[in-house]
Amino acid sequence: MRPFQYVRPADGDAAAAALAAPGAMPIGGGTDVVPLWRDGLATPASVVDVTLPGDDVTPEPDGGLSVRAGARLADLAVHPVLRARAAALALACDSVGSPALRAQGTLGGNLGQRPRCWYWRGGHACAKSGAEGCPAVAGDHRHHAIVEAGPCWAVHPSDPAVALMALEAVVHLQRTGGRRAVPLSQFFVLPSQDPTRETVVEPGEFITHLSLPAGTLGGEQTYEKVIQRGAWDFALVSLATVRRPDGDVRLVLGGIGPRPWRITDSIEEDVASGGLDDDSIDALAERALYDATPLPGTTYKVAQARALLVRAMRRLGGVAR
């Protein structure tokens, strides 16, 4: 294993300057950086600690909220302002891995974590490692993607990202001499675009914070997750739901693709309109997964995703509402 330097900058400008050095990479809690380094999947010359000081959650002038990328998941899970106004995010943070991972892992690191595909992590040649093909297609793919897949079939493992997509979060990035803001809907890179990366974060850049627009905060919010084991596990399928104060509905599935999968506007609008009977709900859930392309070992994910959607649609748009 190649040794690396650990850099602890005092502020964002110093972090950006340190990240401009060749071979530098950001580190939050290190719960993924260290295994990647151990397994030879990351060979940093230096790691730059981007858990810069600051409040975890601050109000924005337009009524929205700003969430620090260096905030620990455990702190976000119990943060009173998030629990009151962005409950889907607090619940998603609370569902991540184990108490130790949540105490150490940060929100920025959770978005930047690499996929859990056992072939790629195990050093097999594949599209993600820069070679061709995906060994999971003919191999063990039971946790792999059913939407937006190929040439790599790995899913993005983040729970918080699913809630953040439903909350229409914006990711704020800093690098030497500049900052930019990217809507989370444009933050992920699909494997058809470039299978070797998962996000638009460039070398030298780091996430400073995420903003949650005022219009998506409050209302009714949930985050549900189907896992194989009783605890400490990645989502097979998950669902974030938001009924905004203006009545609009957001439905976002996780665990099924290389980015959180937002259900199309027209289905969300039908749910928001309400008065749906069971047949209509079944038809909408069927339509929501119409574009799914499961492999033989992942057809169960289509059924699980439909079941989560049906339950949510009954609650949000059923006749009894």
Ligand X SMILES: Cc1cc2nc3c(=O)[nH]c(=O)nc-3n(C[C@H](O)[C@H](O)[C@H](O)COP(=O)(O)OP(=O)(O)OC[C@H]3O[C@@H](n4cnc5c(N)ncnc54)[C@H](O)[C@@H]3O)c2cc1C
By CB under 6 A, tell whether 170 contacts ligand X.
no
d(CA 286, CA 290): 6
Nearer to ligand X, 25 or 267 (CB): 25
By CB under 6 A, tell whether 157 contacts ligand X.
yes
d(CA 315, CA 223): 14
- Of the candidates 27, 88, 155, 237, which one interacts with ligand X according to CB under 6 A? 27
By CB under 6 A, tell whether 30 contacts ligand X.
yes
DSSP three-state, residue 8: coil
By CB under 6 A, tell whether 33 contacts ligand X.
yes
Closest distance of CB 16 from ligand X, Å: 11
Q: Tell me, what amino acid is at 270?
A: D
DSSP three-state, residue 160: helix
The rounded Cα 132 to chain-centroid distance in angstroms is: 26
Closest distance of CB 28 from ligand X, Å: 3
By CB under 6 A, tell whether 211 contacts ligand X.
no
By CB under 6 A, tell whether 109 contacts ligand X.
yes
Q: Are 78 and 102 in contact (CB under 8 A)?
A: no
d(CA 107, CA 319): 38
Nearer to ligand X, 201 or 313 (CB): 201
d(CA 166, CA 252): 6
By CB under 6 A, tell whether 257 contacts ligand X.
no
Closest distance of CB 70 from ligand X, Å: 6
Q: Within positions 42 to 61, which residues make up the interface with ligand X, using CB under 6 A? A: 50
By CB under 6 A, tell whether 258 contacts ligand X.
no
By CB under 6 A, tell whether 32 contacts ligand X.
yes
Closest distance of CB 248 from ligand X, Å: 26
By CB under 6 A, tell whether 105 contacts ligand X.
yes
By CB under 6 A, tell whether 201 contacts ligand X.
yes
Q: Which helix (H) or strand (E) holds 239?
A: strand 237-243
DSSP three-state, residue 238: strand
DSSP annotation string for 171-201: EEEEETTEEEEEEGGGTBPPTTT-TT-SBSP
Phi and psi dihedrals of 171, rounded to 5?
-95, 130
By CB under 6 A, tell whether 234 contacts ligand X.
yes
The rounded Cα 27 to chain-centroid distance in angstroms is: 17
Both tokens of residue 195?
Answer: 């299978």
- Of the candidates 4, 31, 141, 240, which one interacts with ligand X according to CB under 6 A? 31
Closest distance of CB 319 from ligand X, Å: 35
Closest distance of CB 161 from ligand X, Å: 8
By CB under 6 A, tell whether 206 contacts ligand X.
yes
Phi and psi dihedrals of 179, rounded to 5?
-135, 155
Q: Are 23 and 37 in contact (CB under 8 A)?
A: no
Q: Which residues contact 72 (CB under 8 A, 6 or more apart)?
A: 29, 102, 103, 104, 105, 106
- Of the candidates 97, 135, 204, 257, which one interacts with ligand X according to CB under 6 A? 97
The residue range among 54-62, 124-132, 231-239, 271-279 that interacts with ligand X, by the rule CB under 6 A, is 231-239
By CB under 6 A, tell whether 115 contacts ligand X.
no
Closest distance of CB 107 from ligand X, Å: 8
Name the site residues for ligand X (rule: CB under 6 A): 25-33, 50, 69, 96-97, 101, 104-106, 108-110, 112-113, 157-159, 201, 206-207, 232-234
